[in-house]
Amino acid sequence: MNMDSLDKSKRRKFWDTFAYATEGIVTALKQERNMRFHAISAVIVIAFGLFFSITKIEWLFILVSIGGMFSLELLNTAIERVVDLATNEYKPLAKQAKDIAAGAVFIFAIIALVMGIVIFLPYVLKLFL
């Protein structure tokens, strides 16, 4: 095997990782109700951002919130799947693992909601005042 074919093999493996990640996201969107809720929420928030012409800094907070929410929801889903794969019977530690992962998503969702209110409330109030 020459160096050129080795480089092509490494590049192919590198690009394959993006395909696997995309497949994971698509699977979560198809199979997880909460992931679909977050996706629809993200579209609505982006539409509001465009409508109100929010600032660059506000966009950064919105994008970090959306990305963080998706990332945590994907991790939560992965943890749930691994726990389900490990056991079919009720085990307190399995329940705790699932509940703790869901708690992380819940905390971030609350923070994201608060950030959205802080960013969008002044724009909404300007419409009515």
Going by the annotation, the residues of the binding site for substrate are: 73
- Detail the residues annotated as belonging to a binding site: 20, 32, 73, 80, 98-99
Q: Which two tokens stand for residue 75?
A: 């991790």
Residue keyed to tokens 């209110």: 117
Amino acid at 13: K
* Catalytically annotated residue among 23, 58, 73, 89: 73
Q: Which two tokens stand for residue 55?
A: 């600032």
- Detail the residues annotated as belonging to a binding site for ATP: 20, 32, 80, 98-99
47-76: burial string, b at 16+ Cβ within 10 Å, e else: ebbeebebeeebeebbeebbeebbebbbeb
- Detail the residues annotated as belonging to a binding site for a divalent metal cation: 32, 80
How far apart are alpha carbons 3 and 122 in whole angstroms? 59
Is 73 part of the annotated catalytic residue set?
Answer: yes
Active site residues: 73
